Amino acid sequence: MKDRVEALAQKYFPKIVELRHQIHMHPELEFEEENTANLLCAILDEYGIKYERNIAKTGILAQIQGKKEGPCVLLRADMDALPVQEETGLSYASRIAGKMHACGHDGHSAGLMGALLILNELREEFAGTIKFMFQPAEEGSGGAKPMIEAGILENPKVDAVFGCHLWGEGLENTAQIMSGEMMAGVDVFDLEFIGRGGHGAHPHTTIDPIVMAAKFISDVQCGVSRRLSPVDAGVITVGSLHAGTAFNVIPEKAFLSGTVRFLNEKTQDLLCDTIEKTAKAVALEFGGDYRLDYKKQYPPLINDAKMALLARRAFAKVLGEDNVISDAKPTMGAEDFAYLTQARKGAYIFVGISKDLKNPTRHHSSTFCWDDENLKVLMQGDALMALEFLNQA
């Protein structure tokens, strides 16, 4: 079966490269992915593949039935781009100002379509159903959860889920597949310190919210360094601070926003509590006030041990066992594929795309680019994971 999958990947490779380039040239932000969906659906129509579109606005769910009834597995790719001005100089660079596929989602969607075409030719070789999830809005508010809420994991009921991410922190022709914690959960917060404004020459007559904000930024890190166990992973980052309009005026308010990252619920609760208590203490110390809006977003992405082992077997057939890495550390980046692994057993895989780790391919950068040849790894890896699951079930 490995040789047949490889041969079919070679057969469809030119078509999938062209699809990737078309998606890349016309990037779309979260829930705007109409043109991307049209490109994908045109191929589904060409090959007579059953699908439903406009799920969670722009999502697509395609489906292939095997030779007889059996288990059901879902493969997922995301479709959205980023608000980044491309500076790669590629012949197929973005034609949309201020928008770019700077994280590889063009490859995810094209690669999954390649796996679909491979599996469509092999549908007499397996029993069961394969669903193909083309998801909007991974980079923003998240499209996985609303697609799940729309019922994509039912009728037939999905038994396992798999997804891949092209990964700049890995070398080409390698894959990273971990058991357990794979990616962090993420929350966001907006914090407002409220003081009393006045003249910059008379700070004693004011309650300075900029000083409150500065002290909060410094003090809140004690929640990571002194309240969180040194062997646990957690991040509190303040990424935005806005206050004041003039050099000699102490403003009335200061506004901060930030992100929280964690690998388990206990750490999440501790860091949330740290932010609340630190803000309250700072406001009390200076005689001001605060307002905190803390929003829980994605849960941590946890790979099922058995599904991770299955994924390793599949990618070992593509890359060789020595090129499948199982002892990498979790990343504090987040992924809403976590909602899928929360709902069903599954695994998420990092597929390396860097030619040199001393100068790695950097995600979310204006110069993010990678070789089309990596699509073959995605196509074969996705297809073989589905076949491994259905044939072992």
For 362, left (φ over 0), alpha (ψ -120 to 50), or beta?
beta
CA dist 220 → 52, 189, 236, 282, 283 (Å): 47, 13, 8, 10, 13
237 three-state secondary structure: strand
Residue 156, Cβ density class (10 Å: 0-12 exposed, 13-18 middle, ≥19 buried): middle
Tokens of 117: 């075409």
State the catalytic residue, choosing from 138, 208, 304, 388: 138
Helical H runs in the chain? 2-25, 34-46, 105-121, 144-149, 209-220, 222, 265-286, 305-319, 338-343, 374-392
Residue 276, Cβ density class (10 Å: 0-12 exposed, 13-18 middle, ≥19 buried): middle
What's 264's DSSP letter?
S
State the catalytic residue, choosing from 28, 80, 139, 388: 80
Half-sphere exposure of 49 (CA within 13 A, CB side): 29
What's 203's DSSP letter?
G
CA–CA dist 123, 170 (Å, integer): 32
Q: Is 285 a catalytic residue?
A: no
- Which residues, in sequence order, are bridge partners of residue 248? none
Evaluate the omega torsion of the peptide bond into residue 230 and state whether it is cis, within 30 degrees of 0: no
Q: Is 335 a catalytic residue?
A: no
Asked whether the CA dihedral 115, 339, 157, 53 is positive or negative, the reply is: negative
CA–CA dist 269, 146 (Å, integer): 25
Catalytic residues: 80, 138
